[in-house]
Structure 1
Amino acid sequence: MELRQLRYFVAIVDHGSLSRAALVLHVAQPALTQQLRALEEELGARLLHRSAQGVLSTDAGKVFYEHAQAILKQVADARAAVTQSADRPSGGVTLGLPHSISGALALPLLRAARAAYPEITLQLTEEISGNLTEQLKSGRLNLAVLFDDAPREHFAATALVEEDLMFVCRAGSSLAPPDAGVSLAQALDAPLILPAQQQGVRPLIEQAARRAGLVLENVIEINSIAILKSALLADMGATLLPVAPLQEEIASGALAAWPLLEPGLARRVTLCSSRNIPLTNAAAAIGKLVRQVTEELCAAGTWRGARLIAA
């Protein structure tokens, strides 16, 4: 198996046809077809379905595509690590952000990276936390912002902030609590809109409920922040979340938030990298910048509900 075969395969999948991939790669289409056939023979599996409309990945092809992407990224990172300067880091860095963090961190970080490191190409990927974990393990991400349930045996982690969970519902909703705060038992009595199990804050809430002898039921599971906001605004239920992804709606008065009491819950946000794949100078520089931007956001109160964890 050769690196060029991996590049050819990824290009074919990305462009959806052999002919378009051949044009982009500047390779004759018969040669591209030959390399693809050799790759499928070596793997003993068909990777693509071919038709007049183009190509689609088979199940085996989808699995191989993820590995091929990770291998090509690690090769590019290894090349960059050898050639780039520690004083002027350059090259590509891919950072993964959970949906619920990107609203607070993504734009300030992009601005800071462009100002401090113009020769670094920073690519941000927004995913649910479970997907980010797998992508960081495989090497498709250089860095990822994850929560305190990240598998520590695989990652080196730097703590960033703690975010308090709050009870949030539509302003004026019948679900709004009468007092200045709400207990966990009161919160769990309401119909809750939460991420699916093992995603985001859900494990934290499930664990707290078990410790308190409570049951989490009557849950609407939504993994998309945008759809969750729409459901809250439609008064389909309340949620238990940090306020950062909802701060625009809270500031406008469309949503209202109350602190969670008895007990309060907070999640720890960490910056993670793989223990097995060394960071390039560029990735290390972006990692330091994430910490710096986080400190600035907390000092300014821009990252609402977040408490900086001392370095």
Structure 2
Amino acid sequence: MELRQLRYFVAIVDHGSLSRAARVLHIAQPALTQQIHQLEEEMDAQLLHRSAQGVIATDAGKTFYEHAQAILKQVQDAKSAVAQSTDKPSGTVALGIPQSVSNALALPLLTAVRSTYPEITLQLTEELTGNLITQLKSGRINLAVLFDDGQLSPFASTPMIEEEMMYITCAKSRFGVSGRKPVSLAKAIEAPLILPGLQHGVRPRIENIVRAQGMTLENVIEINSVAILKSAILADIGATILPVAPLLSDIERGDMVAHAIGGERITRTLALCASKNIPLTIAAAAVEKLVLDVTDDLCRKGRWQHTQLLKRE
């Protein structure tokens, strides 16, 4: 198996066409087809399904595509690590951020990277926590912001913040409470709760706290998209328990109302994680430090609301 075969395969899947991939790769289509045939023979599996509509990956091909991307990313990182200098880091750094964090962190971080390290290309990936863990383990991304649920031992992790979760409804909701007073956890879970699925870092945390109080979540509407979750809350289909960051603009406009949860506070801890097995490039290490600096600045200035900075070694 050769690296060029991996590049060819990834290009075909990305473009959905042998002819388009051949043009991008500057290789004759028959030669490209021959290389893919050799790759499939070595893998002893059909990786691509060809039809009049184009080319798509088979189930085996989808699995191989994930590994091929990770291998190519690590090769590129190795080249960058050798070529770049410590005083002027350059190259591509891939950072994964959960959907519920990106609204607070993504834009300030992009701005900071562009102004501080103009020769670094930051690739931001917004994903569910479970997907980020898989990508970080495989090397497809260099860094990831993850929820510290006590199971981050496979990674090199640095504490970032503790973030409080609130009971959030639309304004004048039938599930709302009067005034701005805190709502009890028992009261909060009486409403239909619009929550992410269990593969999302927020949901297991809520489930565990509710269970520890001798209660259960009886009426949950699972929505993994922040945009759809917002629409459902505004339509008063239910309430949610989330950090305010992904819904802050709606809260500040008065379209939604956030209440602290009294008694048993529900918080989540965020950590910045990297692989223990794959060394960071100079550029990735620079971005790692910048993520922590930007987070500290956002919290101290009150721009990342209802958060508390955590001690670091």
Pick the TM interval, shorter chain. over 0.9
RMSD over equivalenced CA pairs, Å: 1.0
Q: Name the counterpart of 2:204.
A: 203
Distance, in Å, in 1 between the alignment partners of 2:38 and 2:229 is: 46
Q: Name the counterpart of 1:244.
A: 245
Q: 1:286-307: CA deviations, max 9, x gaps?
A: 0000011011111111111111
Residue 120 (structure 2) pairs with residue 120 (structure 1): yes
Distance, in Å, in 1 between the alignment partners of 2:153 and 2:116 is: 32
Q: Is the 8 Å Cα contact of residues 175 and 238 (structure 1) preserved in structure 2?
A: yes
Q: Name the counterpart of 2:129.
A: 129
Q: Name the counterpart of 1:185.
A: 186
Q: Is the 8 Å Cα contact of residues 169 and 257 (structure 2) preserved in structure 1?
A: yes
Residue 32 (structure 2) pairs with residue 32 (structure 1): yes
- Residue 189 of structure 1 aligns to a residue whose secondary structure is coil
Q: Name the counterpart of 2:16.
A: 16
Residue 173 (structure 2) pairs with residue 173 (structure 1): yes
Unaligned runs of 5+ in 2: none
Q: 1:155-184: CA deviations, max 9, x gaps?
A: 111111111010000111121123600111
Distance, in Å, in 1 between the alignment partners of 2:152 and 2:299 is: 25
TM-score, reference length from structure 2: 0.98
Distance, in Å, in 1 between the alignment partners of 2:45 and 2:150 is: 34
Partner AA of 2:155 in structure 1: F
How far the C-alpha of 1:52 sits from its partner, in A, is 2.1
Unaligned runs of 5+ in 1: none
Distance, in Å, in 1 between the alignment partners of 2:199 and 2:73 is: 28
Residue 247 (structure 2) pairs with residue 267 (structure 1): no
Q: Is the 8 Å Cα contact of residues 234 and 256 (structure 2) preserved in structure 1?
A: yes
How far the C-alpha of 1:150 sits from its partner, in A, is 6.5
Partner AA of 2:90 in structure 1: S
Partner AA of 2:236 in structure 1: D
Residue 61 (structure 2) pairs with residue 61 (structure 1): yes
Q: 1:198-256: CA deviations, max 9, x gaps?
A: 31311111111111100111100001100000000000000000000000000000000
Distance, in Å, in 2 between the alignment partners of 1:287 and 1:116 is: 13
Q: Is the 8 Å Cα contact of residues 229 and 246 (structure 1) preserved in structure 2?
A: yes
- Residue 96 of structure 1 aligns to a residue whose secondary structure is strand
Residue 265 (structure 2) pairs with residue 258 (structure 1): no
Residue 202 (structure 2) pairs with residue 194 (structure 1): no
Residue 160 (structure 2) pairs with residue 140 (structure 1): no
Partner AA of 1:273 in structure 2: A
Q: Is the 8 Å Cα contact of residues 169 and 238 (structure 1) preserved in structure 2?
A: yes
Distance, in Å, in 2 between the alignment partners of 1:153 and 1:203 is: 18
Q: Is the 8 Å Cα contact of residues 137 and 275 (structure 2) preserved in structure 1?
A: yes
Q: Is the 8 Å Cα contact of residues 133 and 150 (structure 1) preserved in structure 2?
A: no
Q: Which moved more, 1:29-38 or 1:45-54?
A: 45-54
**Cα distance change on mapping 1:134 and 1:115 into 2, 3 Å:** same
Runs of 4 or more, structure 1, over 4 Å off, are none
TM-score, reference length from structure 1: 0.98
Distance, in Å, in 1 between the alignment partners of 2:89 and 2:264 is: 45
Aligned positions, number: 311
- Residue 177 of structure 1 aligns to a residue whose secondary structure is coil
